[in-house]
Amino acid sequence: MTLDGVKKVYLAGIGGSSMSSLAEILFNRGYSVSGSDMQSSATTAHLESLGIKVYIGHSEDNVKNENPQVIIRTDAVSESNSEIAYALQAGIPVHRRAELLGMILDGYDFPVGIAGTHGKTTTSGMIASILAASGFDYSAIIGGSVKQLNSSYIIGKEEKFCVFESCEYKDSFLNFRPFVSVILNISKDHMEYFKTLDNLIGSFKKYLRNTKEGGTVVYNSECENSLKMIDDFQGKKVSFGIVKGSVTAYDISSVNGLYNFTIMYEGEKFCTVSLSVPGAHNVKNALAAAAAAIALGVSPEAVSKGLHDFAGTKRRFEYHCTVNGAVIADDYAHHPDAYDVTFKTARELGFKRVIAIHQPHTFSRTKMLMNEFAQVLSQVDHVIVSPIYAARETNDEYNVFAEDLVELLPNGEYQPDFEHIAQRVKEMAQPGDLFITLGCGNIYLAAELITEKYGDKC
């Protein structure tokens, strides 16, 4: 897409983490920007403080009032949405968020894209922290709020470095042309779109070919599907892994779930690292971030400092409160593999019991990964299951319910809403327990409700 000759842009779903960053970038570049979102938030308030008009609720009247030349929509906003339907009827061009992001990224000298099924937000935050430690001016567009930034994005003064999450959903990442393309891992996800694992891997293969001339692909040498992806790639590449790859970890130790290790590059010591975020999985995220930094020519000292300074992101094993001595936490995980990582981290941290509060995300994912979710959730001491978060879907095609999953769980129970979940946590909570809300829908509101009604500060 192009914005040649365009002065007025409207964003449907402007309050999302990526959409809000794009809105601010366009505004800073002199465009007249407006948009809508389903609910007000701190993000929409920030945009309004800049002078960006934000409508709460979608309506064709919003578009009529603003009379934009182009509309940008998130994938969560369908063509049947009243604003989009009106725009198409009125002949106003409508583009996906990924198209706009791709156009903006083309203006940067060194865009760094982080793709993969798991770990994108954390690894993006780590790379941003490394660039900050280097003293570089940079921008970052991240899928979750980074604690150091207190935001999901930062817009630098120069158009040199830009770190961004590169999502494969509906082939969105094929709109991007990174200088460094980081692929963390590939697992079955978004199968309602890709249908088969071969199709998913094939999409990643196409994405690699988008890497800018002279750029580098960073890939996981310990991920079988990533190896299938990279097997015929002819460009510059750097691999990472705990024991296999160009960038590896040596002399690994941990204290209270926090890891210390030495990063090796091509068999030689590169730097030592002391992480400030828990979990063995973050060792691998750190190696991916270090490999990207090496591809950019960042110093070992900056990599070490940046990884240590990284304080995590919101909704990634984020503590909310205690109830009866039990810790209440929240995590964005929404795939069985990510649940497995989260539960392993919980065990490393020494909790006596782990109670998962699982919000199934979308009817398609729930049905297609039912057995995988049942298997991983059976590992913890107890599971509370909420109704399915529909997101963009209806249940007409899938005919699946949260109770179907509960029937497969020897340790599970169904609760119809967040009020009942909060009450159940109050009844069950004991010292040494971890209750963790899980999902990428609105299950975090359950953690907030528990905190509000029954919680003491952590």
Domain range annotation of the chain: 8-96, 106-309, 318-454
Sheet of 382-385, strand order: 318-323, 326-331, 433-438, 353-358, 382-385, 412-414
Higher pLDDT, 232 or 313: 232
**Statement: residue 457 has pLDDT above 80:** no
H-assigned helices in 82-181: 82-90, 97-105, 120-134
**Statement: residue 160 has pLDDT above 90:** yes
The predicted structure's pLDDT at residue 77: 87
The predicted structure's pLDDT at residue 433: 96
**Statement: residue 295 has pLDDT above 80:** yes
Burial grade of 73 (CB within 10 A; 0-12, 13-18, 19 or more): buried
- Banded model confidence at residue 189, pLDDT cuts 50, 70, 90: confident
Q: How do residues 29-86 score in pLDDT, each as one tens digit? A: 899 999 999 888 888 999 999 999 999 999 999 999 999 999 999 888 888 899 999 9
pLDDT, mean of residues 311-335: 89
Sequence-distant (6+) residues with CB within 8 A of 392 are 75, 76, 78, 362
Q: Which two tokens stand for residue 133?
A: 């430690």
The predicted structure's pLDDT at residue 175: 92
Phi, psi dihedral angles at 61 (to 5 degrees): -65, -30
Q: How many other CB atoms sit within 10 Å of the CB of residue 420?
A: 14
Higher pLDDT, 309 or 337: 309
The predicted structure's pLDDT at residue 170: 84
Angle between helix 336-348 and helix 370-377 axes, rounded to 10 deg: 10
The predicted structure's pLDDT at residue 349: 87
When mean pLDDT is compared across 37-41, 147-151, 203-207, the lowest value belongs to 147-151
Task: Tell me yes or no: is domain 8-96 CATH 3.40.50.720.
Answer: yes
**Statement: residue 101 has pLDDT above 80:** yes
The predicted structure's pLDDT at residue 198: 95
Percent of the chain with pLDDT over 70: 100
DSSP β-bridge partners for residue 154: 140
Kindly state the DSSP code that residue 389 receives in the 8-state scheme.
B
Q: How do residues 374-421 score in pLDDT, each as one tens digit? A: 999 999 999 999 999 998 788 998 999 999 999 999 999 999 999 999
**Statement: residue 243 has pLDDT above 80:** yes
Q: What is the mean pLDDT of the chain?
A: 93
Whether the pTM exceeds 0.85: the reply is no
- The string of DSSP codes covering 323-387 is ETTEEEEEE---SHHHHHHHHHHHHHTT-SEEEEEE--B-HHHHHHTHHHHHHHHTTSSEEEEPP
Percent of the chain with pLDDT over 90: 74
Contact 186, 201 (CB under 8 A): yes
The predicted structure's pLDDT at residue 337: 86
The predicted structure's pLDDT at residue 58: 94
pLDDT, mean of residues 249-264: 93
CATH of 318-454, one of 3.40.630.10, 3.90.190.20, 3.90.1150.10, 3.40.50.2300: 3.90.190.20
Sequence-distant (6+) residues with CB within 8 A of 419 are 449
pLDDT, mean of residues 206-233: 96
| Percent helix / strand / coil, the chain, rounded to 5 | 35, 25, 35
Architecture of domain 106-309: 3-Layer(aba) Sandwich (3.40)
